[in-house]
Structure 1
Amino acid sequence: MPLINVIPGNKIPTAPLNVRMPMWHMPGWLLLIVWTVRGLARLVVLSVRYWWLTMPVGVAVWFRAEYGSFVVLGLVLVITGGCLAWWRLHPASWLRFGWHPIVGRWRRLWVYRRRWASAMATCGLATVFDGDRYIPRLGRVRSSRYGDEVTVRLLPGQIPDDWATAAPRLAYTFRLRDGRAYATSKPDRVTLRFLRRDPLAGLIQPLPIPAMPDFTALPLGVREDGETYRLRLTGSQLLIAGATNSGKGSVIWSLIRALAGGIRSGLVELWVFDPKGGMELAAGQPLFTRFAYEDPDTMAGVLEEAVKRMRQRAARLRGITRQHIATPGDPTIVIVVDELAALTAYITDRKVKERIREALGLLLSQGRAVDVHVIAALQDPRKEVLPFRDLFPTRIGLRLTEKEQVDMVLGDGSRNRGARCDQIPETTPGIGYVALDGVREPVRVRFSYLTDTDIAQLVRDYARPGGAA
């Protein structure tokens, strides 16, 4: 029996309010027309979106209808022959403008678009609001020899760090080696870089030595996109951190090799400190202006001498220029310390330790403008070992033993942005991540490896003036 409402004080019953929406019955022929129009509109949209597939198919169908199958086959052979000739005559332009764009479009359709919705949901990048599901929009896919670069439009409330955290999971979802996320110039977009093949898997041979070093772009190794990595030394200090056998020597010798042209011409002076008794760097002694390796007191004296040179240069340039320009008579001074912790933490003589810390602090804080640069390597990045870690604008993190050490070396949040130094295999020394002051994302690099023969040849060819080769 239906219920009725009775208003208090009123004897007349009232019927319940009907809140149901009326049901419209659509004839079958009209429903068929609606479905047909929607299907045609969808077909037009897909045809325009995937014009690189529909246009060749349409042209082939038209040629076949007009001229027959043999003409279509001949046209295909002509186009194939032209592409082969282009590839043989100029492979670089063929890969850039021909093959890689085709691969990028195909991978966008077959690899990413096909799994995009499920990947966004399982990786926590889709969201639901008011009963509707929202998925980030897949943009352009650019392919290269080693990987893919995918542009994505962010949902409201998302930031690039959300994608940086999910990038490794996305890489596994799309059956790829590795994935990292980068912010773009547009605030509503993010770029995902997926690695299909690692160009850093093998050893990197020594790079060509420039006749005169460019201090803004010193060639040291190869990036994960296969291009040469160039380090900016001008106005910077460099910290190298890595566990035992992680490849710190590769970074140091790659840097020395890149500076070799300036060493021979007198444009660069190397002041080298090897607290391990000279075992690591003694082979390059003819390249060095100063080489200290004996005892902490001697090394403290050489550092204080470098401070004196720095102050003299600053006094000479004061009021004339804000940045020193190297000349053979007034060269760039590069101070290389192979194991910094041996000078700042492991010395028992407190007075010598304080002298070293004071000298290093002055060189790091005041040396950049007067062209005095410190290149320091160490294994333990803790604050008590390296009290002036923040004075290094450029940092290189090689293989590290703990994930907490990544942020110690490269800065807070670096590991979440893709610098997984603790996951670098022991079998790939020389691979690391470079973080620059003011640049959000670290760069993955493998530095070139110099054998003893390469070092001996470098010394013979580029010994400094007056140095015995």
Structure 2
Amino acid sequence: MRWRRPAWYWRGISGPVAAVRLRVRWGSVMEACELVVAPTRFRLTVARMAHRPAPAPRVPRLVRLRVTRTGLVGRVRLRPGQDTHDFATAADRLRHSFAMQQVVVRELRAGVVELRMTGYDVLRRVQMPRVKPTSGLRVPMALREDGSVHWRDYRQTPHALNLGATQSGKSVYQRRLVMGLAKLPNVALVGVDCKEGVELAPLARRFSALVDNPDDALALLEALLGRMAETYQVIRAEQRITADVPDAEITADIWGLPEEKRPALVVVVIDEIAELSLVSSGSKEEEKRRDQIITALVRLAQLGRAAGIYLELCGQRFGADLGKGITTLRAQLSGRVSHRVNDEGTAKMAFGDIAPGAVLACMQIPDNRPGAAVVASSSGGWSMIRTPKTSMRAAANVCNAHADLTPDIPELARWRPSVAGISLAESSVPAVSEAA
């Protein structure tokens, strides 16, 4: 049970034992980690007047403790003079003292912090929990090191950068993203795969447009710019900013439109972004095409969110040496995911401007953990995640089963992939293996 169903083993055996151990050791551990406060002057004065021993230091109060599927979650009420930084600094000492895998400290409100403790290595063998279907554009992608689910939320983070060396699990992350988006209605997938289409061609039945060379990629991006401009005209026509229109009905993006008038959302998945930036022969035509591609991507990243166009850029290498405009493009990509990389420059391009502490972490990911990655946000926080193993066959079956959800976009009709030779998947799609 410990190996095949670690969550069951933790809930039934290890979790209750760990909870009892934590409550028994709480006071001594707080004192050993210097997380206690000295008694107040009033208590010292009363003890002195009553000829009693000096009172003991005051321990922060553990007000709630519960067992989760991956660990323990405790709520601590701080004593006067303590702050969240004290517990965050002592997180590693708490981990060893309570014999836990990891301890994460988070402030809930003033004077109350949450200790989220992981009881075992949840990334060793990834088992995704069941999640309820959600509205909007959210896809469950991976498992975080604290046992929670990492979501790819396009409304919160419109554009993202996914990096990783060969055999690091970057392609598995990309497959799982396409699988999650394929199940959503009114979502058009647009693919740019300059590796002759070997990564995205098996999933072509769910794609509204798919190209495999830089020339077609440029024409496709220009068509998306034209669609973006037309979508803005639809938004302008529906605003109707008059005195009798409530403030809540005035919108500046596609999500405020009535559902029957909302155009299909477009997610652009680009595999090997470096292939669109490199110039092999050094000719002026290739340099001009390269500049036009980067300019189109920058414009889509800057203006596409309100029009329902989102970018997902993937690659092995991403750096300023790819040419001008790369740094400008990176500034628009709020979501950053980096698997194991081979050079420090790529790690710095991914996290150097938002989470410098994550630069070293993504370079220390071992080779025997494919799918493990570091995810960071623009707020400066970062954490380790791991994507469950997903085969190309499983991803293709899901895309084929949901091919009827593929929107027909007239602007992208000329790049609609030809899938006449691909047979439809059967109605019963095999279950995806969640083990990494």
Same topology, TM > 0.5: yes
Counterparts of 2:351 and 2:201, CA distance in 1: 29
Change (3 A) 1:329 1:413: closer
Matched to 2:222, the amino acid is E
Map of 1:284 onto structure 2: 203
- The alpha carbon displacement at 1:369 in A equals 0.8
Corresponding residue for residue 270 of structure 1: 189
Q: Judging changes above 3 Å, is the alpha-carbon distance between structure 1 residues 341 and 137 closer, same or farther for their aligned structure 2 residues? A: farther
Task: Tell me if 1:369 matches 2:306.
Answer: yes
1:394 corresponds to:
335
Map 1:29-178; keep pairs closer than 5 Å.
Answer: 103=17, 105-118=19-32, 120-121=33-34, 137=60, 139-140=62-63, 141-152=65-76, 160=84, 163-164=87-88, 166-178=90-102
1:59 match: none
Separation in 2, partners of 1:379, 1:165: 34
Per-residue deviation, residues 58-100 of structure 1 (Å, max 9, x unmatched):
xxxxxxxxxxxxxxxxxxxxxxxxxxxxxxxxxx9xx99x999
1:324 corresponds to 2:245: no
- What residue is the counterpart of 1:354 in the other structure? 291
For residues 336 and 220 of structure 1, do their structure 2 counterparts lie closer, same or farther at Cα, with a shift above 3 Å needed?
same
Whole-Å Cα distance in 1 between the matches of residues 109 and 385 of structure 2? 26
Shift of 1:374: 0.4
Counterpart amino acid of 1:300?
L
In 2, are the aligned partners of 1:218 and 1:230 still within 8 Å (CA)? Answer: yes
Query: Is the Cα–Cα contact under 8 Å of residues 383 and 389 in structure 1 kept in the other structure?
Result: no
Report the identity percentage. Answer: 26
Aligned to 1:193: 116
Q: Residues of 1 paired with 2:334 and 2:28: CA distance?
A: 43
Whether the 8 Å CA contact 2:37–2:81 is kept in 1: the answer is no
Shift of residue 251 of structure 1? Answer: 1.9
Q: Does 1:452 align with 2:392?
A: yes
For the pair 1:312 / 2:236, whether they are aligned, the reply is: no
Aligned partner of 2:229: which letter? R
**Does the aligned pair in 2 maintain the 1:222–1:446 contact within 8 Å?**
yes
Q: Whole-Å Cα distance in 1 between the matches of residues 23 and 343 of structure 2? A: 39
Match of 1:34 in 2: none
C-alpha distance in structure 2 between counterparts of 1:342 and 1:194, whole Å: 42
Query: 1:341 aligned to 2:274?
Result: yes
Residue in structure 1 matched with residue 151 of structure 2 by the alignment: 230
SS across alignment from 1:200: coil
**Displacement after TM superposition at 1:366 (Å):** 0.4
- Cα distance between partner residues in 2 of 1:165 and 1:403: 27
2: distance between equivalents of 1:215 and 1:225?
A: 25
Q: Distance in 1 between matches of 2:348 and 2:162?
A: 14
2:66, 2:74 within 8 Å by CA — same for their partners in 1?
A: yes
Match of 2:410 in 1: none
Secondary structure at the counterpart of residue 185 of structure 1: strand
Deviation at 1:272, TM superposition (A): 0.6
Q: Which amino acid aligns with 2:401?
A: D
Question: What TM-score, normalized by structure 1, do the two folds share?
Answer: 0.64
Query: Within 1, Cα distance between the matches of 2:330 and 2:144?
Result: 25
Aligned 8 A contact 2:268 2:311 in 1: yes
Moved more, 423-432 or 333-342: 423-432
- Bigger Cα Rg: 1
Q: Which amino acid aligns with 2:311?
A: V
Runs (5+) with no aligned partner, structure 2: 1-6, 40-53, 239-250, 407-415, 423-436
For this pair of structures, how many residues does the alignment match? Answer: 362
CA offset digits 1:44-69 (Å, max 9, x no partner): xxxxxxxxxxxxxxxxxxxxxxxxxx
SS at match of 2:254: coil
- Look up the match of 1:303: 221
The corresponding residue for 1:65 is none
AA aligned to 1:281 is: L
2:357 matches 1:422 = no
Q: CA RMSD in A?
A: 4.1
Give distance in 2, aligned partners of 1:185 and 1:216: 27
5+ unaligned residues in a row in structure 1: which ranges? 1-91
Give the 3 Å change call, closer, same or farther, for CA 101–207 of structure 1 in structure 2.
closer
- Structure 1 residue 150: deviation in Å? 4.2
1:399-418 maps to which residues of 2 (within 5 A)? Answer: 399-401=340-342, 408-410=349-351, 414=355, 416=357
- Per the TM alignment, residue 149 of structure 1 is displaced from its structure 2 partner at its CA by 3.0
Aligned: 1:256 with 2:178: yes
1:289 is paired with a residue whose SS is: strand
* Distance across 1 between alignment mates of 2:142 and 2:123: 10
Compute the displacement of 1:218 (Å).
Answer: 1.9
What is aligned with 2:136?
215
For residues 110 and 262 of structure 2, what CA distance do their matches in structure 1 show?
A: 48
Normalised TM-score (structure 2): 0.68
Q: Which whole-Å deviations, capped at 9, do the CAs of 1:170-191 have from their partners, x for residues lacking one? A: 4245433233333x23244443
1:33 alignment counterpart: none
CA contact 2:27–2:59 (8 Å) conserved in 1:
no
Q: Deviation of residue 368 (structure 1)?
A: 0.6
Whether the 8 Å contact between 1:222 and 1:447 is mirrored in structure 2 is yes
SS at match of 1:290: strand
In 2 relative to 1, CA 242–127 (structure 1 residues): closer, same or farther, beyond 3 Å?
farther
Alpha-carbon contact 2:102-2:146 (below 8 Å) kept: no
Q: Which residue in 2 is equivalent to 1:462?
A: 402
Contact in 1 for aligned 2:165/2:340 (Cα 8 Å): yes
The secondary structure found in structure 1 opposite 2:368 is coil
The answer (yes or no) to whether the contact 1:273–1:292 under 8 Å persists in 2 is yes
SS of 1:239's partner is: strand
